[in-house]
Amino acid sequence: MASIISRWSRPARLAVLSALLAIAAVAVTACGSSGSSGSSGSSSTAGSSASSKGDLTTADKLAAQWAQRPTQIPVSQPIGKPIPTGKRIDFINCGVSACTSLYKNLNDAARTLGWTVKQINTTGTPESVQAAWKQAVTDKPDAVVASGFPRAVFSQQLKQLQQMKIPVVESSTDDVEGGGIDLILSKPKDLGPEGQILASWITKDSGGKAHTLYVDLPVYNILKPVRQYFEQNYAKLCAGCKLDKIDIPLTAIGKDVPDRVVSYLRAHPDVNYVAYSLGALNVGVPAALRQAGLANKVKLIVNVGDAENYQYIASGQTHAAMAFSNIDQTWVWADALARLFTGQPIDVDRKAHLPYMLITKDNLISTGSEFPLVANYQQQWKKLWGK
């Protein structure tokens, strides 16, 4: 089945080929230079109204603050009443490993209170999510816990749960409490500290002279507020510092990200910091930087550290991470449910500030993913719960 083109003479084929490539090249440069959102190379310079020296001081202070290990759990009010045991909780797993970790920790907290947690799996498709919520309705548990689902997908089931007076607690969704959802942790507006940690460390470490590349994963909506907070803080603290952004598709993690980052840095030799909106994006990058001879020219900070990045930090291949622990979050969930089961309001949980930390090699706690920020969290929670 010879194509028509192959019947043409060689010069004709070459001409067509060159034309096609030229058109593509033109299209790509034209679109690239239009400065659309998410395009690379778009830099912004922070406003220079405030004196750079003042910003630096704040940055130093903030970085020092965040570098301290939290010692208090986010809630201090004891429950005061005996917490009923034997409660059944349904946990709906969003399908990625982060949610599996939430399940595991929720289970630990629940067991302390004599409750059981049943996991309902989803595969990421809206149909599977709906099916999971439907199952939760059928189960008639004492409470439903979930993370990362937009309300629209399960609004009907939510209404049914509300009618049955089954409490629903969530995290990491861009939604408001009410209408059936009793608590949302890690809402977008709670993520301010994440952006602040990244910005303050970069400012402090660079002495106010940073050119940062922010590497983002736009497919995860919950990372958008992280970027916004980062940009705000960066503009304030690191006056005059440049900021570039690139977006990465999910399929490039591990395979293409190292090459993209290395290429960007080679094309923009001024960049001296790279910040990732999610730690997973850094996988494989340190080695690629080394091979390209850039390891000493750039410093890396990741948002939401994980075992891989903590290992990198321990061996000096990555320099800082924003640490956040699922453990702390899930025990707040358990606390909120305990209050609901004992008929108490849960304002304290709604207002709880989950612990964050800025981790560098100096204050590295552990190289595993699953360590609590508050070291004696179990003790503290048990005291609140009267156990």
Partner 1 sequence: MSTGTTAAPAAVSERHVLAEARPARPTSQWRRALSFSNIGAVYVWLLIILVFAIWVPNTFLTQTTFNQILNNNAVTGLMALCVVIPLAARVFDLSIAFTMTLSGVTVAHFVAHTAVGVVPAVLIALGAALAIGLINGFVVVGLGVDSFIGTLATGSLIKAFITMVTNDQSITGVKLLQTPFSSIAQTDIGGLTLPVLYLLVIAGAIWFVLEHTATGRRLYATGFNPDAARLQNVTTDRLRVFSLVTSSLLAGVAGIVFTSAIGSGSPTAGDPYLLAAYAAAFLGATQLRGGRFNAWGTVIAVLLLGTGTTGLALASTPQWSTSVFTGLVLIVALAVTSGRVGMPKRLRRRAAVAA
- Write the single-letter amino acid at 209: K
> Residue 150 or residue 249: which is nearer to partner 1 going by CB?
249
> Does residue number 281 form part of the binding site for partner 1 (CB under 8 A)?
no
Which residues between 23 and 42 bind partner 1 (CB under 8 A)?
24-25, 27-29, 31-32, 36, 38-41
6: contact with partner 1 by CB under 8 A: yes
| Candidate segments 66-74, 142-150, 244-252, 325-333, binder of partner 1 by CB under 8 A | 244-252
C-beta of 44 vs 163, nearer to partner 1: 44
| Contact predicate 113/60, CB 8 Å | no
* Secondary structure class of 218 (helix, strand, coil): coil
Task: Annotate 288-319 with b (16+ C-beta within 10 A) or e (fewer).
Answer: bbeebebbeebbbbbbbbbebbbebbeeebbb
Q: Give yes or no for residue 123 binding partner 1 (CB under 8 A).
A: no
Beta strands, E only, the chain:
44-45, 88-93, 116-121, 143-147, 168-171, 181-185, 211-216, 242-247, 273-276, 299-303, 320-324, 356-360
271: number of Cβ within 10 Å: 22
Closer residue to partner 1 in complex, CB, 226/283: 283
Among 141, 188, 225, 286, binds partner 1 (CB under 8 A): 286
Virtual CA dihedral for 338, 91, 306, 378, nearest 10 degrees? 20
Q: Which stretch binds partner 1 (CB under 8 A): 57-65, 124-132, 256-264, 339-347?
A: 256-264
C-alpha dihedral, 16 to 22 to 23 to 27, nearest 10°: 160
Q: How far apart are CA 221 and CA 216, in angstroms?
A: 11
Picking from 154, 117, 155, 116, the residue whose alpha carbon sits closest to that of residue 132 is 154
Q: Can you tell me the distance from the alpha carbon of 345 to that of 87, in angstroms, rounded to the nearest whole number?
A: 19
Q: Smallest distance, Å, CB 220 to partner 1?
A: 15
Q: How far is the CB of 2 from partner 1 (least distance, A)?
A: 5
Instruction: Give the phi and the psi of residue 322 in degrees, each rounded to 5.
Output: -90, 120
What x-and-dash track marks residues 288-327 binding partner 1 by CB under 8 A? x-xxxx------------xxx-xxx-xx-x----------
Binding region for partner 1 (CB under 8 A) out of 10-18, 67-75, 148-156, 164-172: 10-18
**DSSP secondary structure code for residue 178 in this structure:** B
Which of 18, 51, 65, 123: binder of partner 1 (CB under 8 A)?
A: 18
Name the segment binding partner 1 (CB under 8 A); options: 8-16, 148-156, 190-198, 320-328.
8-16
Among 144, 185, 283, 301, binds partner 1 (CB under 8 A): 283
* Pairing of the two strands 242-247 and 116-121: unpaired
Query: What are the residues binding partner 1 (CB under 8 A)?
Result: 1-3, 5-6, 10, 13-14, 17-18, 20-21, 24-25, 27-29, 31-32, 36, 38-41, 96-97, 100-101, 104, 246-249, 251-256, 258-260, 262-264, 266-268, 283-284, 286-288, 290-293, 306-308, 310-312, 314-315, 317, 367-369
